[in-house]
Amino acid sequence: MTTLPPGSSSSLCALFSYELHDGAIDSAAIGRIHRGDIDDWISAVARAGWFTSTDIRTLEQRWRADPRALLDTLLAGADEVTAKRCRGIWADYDAVADDQLEADA
């Protein structure tokens, strides 16, 4: 997989800063990311006009393969308390997914 150009992390932080309005990411948004429902974030990157089509495909591949990477991108500019709270919500979604796997087995 190709890497993004230098400065991309800063651009993504700026692009998604609205997600951290008032110091939090919506729990439902974290759930969507956890399920791999990332189309809105890919669309936002594409609409911004800051990235090449190759960059956008790279991000999409990375985030589809590892949705947690999108959460980490969103939290890159967050304060420590917000990041910890959001990672705790992610862990809760992990636990629910694990419970469902056990129930299905």
For the segment 17-46, what is each residue's pLDDT rounded down to a tens digit? Answer: 556 556 567 788 889 989 999 998 898 888
pLDDT of amino acid 1: 44
More confident residue, 8 or 94: 94
For the segment 37-74, what is each residue's pLDDT rounded down to a tens digit? Answer: 999 889 888 888 888 898 889 889 999 999 999 888 88
pLDDT of amino acid 51: 84
Distance between CA atoms of 59 and 75, rounded to whole angstroms? 16
Looking at the whole model, is its pTM more than 0.85? no
